[in-house]
Chain A
Amino acid sequence: MGQHEHCREMLGSLSDYVDGSLNKGLCEELERHMADCENCRIVVDTLRKTIYLYHEANDSVSIPAGVRQRLYKRLNFEDLLEQVDDQ
């Protein structure tokens, strides 16, 4: 990719592009460029996939037992522990 000056220029736009928030002019320029540049297509596809994977993998951090109880205790809210639904 290094030999393509155009790829370098496009790089800062890719993140906005995958979000769909790139302005129309730049968007068209990037799409014209990608039609002829397989490397940039791969970078965009794998960038999109990267974001997607993180989105899917969210909630992988489980909350250890006791965290909620200790939080209530720290605030002197122990009396409310039972009253509030544990959602």
Chain B
Amino acid sequence: MNNEHDIGKSAEDFSLESLRAGDRVEFSRLMEANYGKIYRLAMKILNHSEDAEDVLQETFLKAYKHIKTFDGRSKLSTWLYRIATNEALMMIRRRRPDMFSMDEPQETEEGEQEPVQIVDWSYVPEEKLMSSEGKAYLDQAVDRLPYNLRVVFLLRDIEDLSTQETADVLGLSETAVKTRLSRARLRLREDLSNYYGERLERQ
């Protein structure tokens, strides 16, 4: 149960009863614990700060309105991620219908891209890889992923959700999550290998 004296509260340490009863103070605690994560996720999906803020606000408006229907089977944060991801993807669909496809044409192993860049940059010191330019490149590489791969990558590898939680958030099978994660990671590896490989050669 909630203990008001417990300072190190986890994101899940909320009274569902109070939340379902519409307790605003409890709901604002839920917001405090999650708004940063939701904003960052939206920002990484959309790469647009105003849109990310819209998604953030819509997410908590909907959550507040529908918290009575939250069944408690998933974590509250997973439920919020689901609302936020849907909002973000709807926004993309509205604004850039040409760009959007949540379905991938082929789900077979044939769809894996073969690695082309075979450069071993894994031993390069981290401070070199993570220069401010390097960090910016990491973000750009994610932006180049198609949305269906990008969202899976962000939830699994950036937000640290499990395969099952990611599947729940996106309404996909666990197999589809694994396949998309694999593709996303291999594409990013390829992209980073191009980038870091070139820099290694110049030195």
Q: How far is the CB of A13 from chain B (nearest CB, A)?
A: 8
* Chain B interface SS verdict (over half): helix
In the complex, which residues of chain A have a beta carbon less than 8 angstroms from the beta carbon of B158?
54-55, 58
Report the number of A-B residue pairs with Cβ-Cβ less than 8 Å. 126
Q: Which residues of B contact A58 (CB under 8 A)?
A: 158
B186 and A15 within 8 A (CB)? yes
- Asked if A51 meets B182 with Cβ closer than 8 Å, knowing A11-B112, A45-B120, A60-B135, the reply is no
Answer yes or no: A50 CB below 8 A from chain B CBs. yes
Q: Which residues of B contact A57 (CB under 8 A)?
A: 130, 135, 138
Partner of B185, one of A39, A51, A56, A60: A51
Q: Is B56 an interface residue, CB under 8 A from the partner?
A: yes
* Total number of A residues with any Cβ neighbor in B under 8 Å: 43
CA distance A70 to B50 in the complex (A): 12
B residues near A (Cβ < 8 Å) are 24-25, 27-29, 31-33, 35-36, 39-40, 43-44, 49, 53, 56-57, 60-61, 64, 109, 112, 114-116, 118-122, 126, 129-130, 135, 138-139, 142, 157-158, 178-179, 181-182, 185-186, 188-189, 192-193
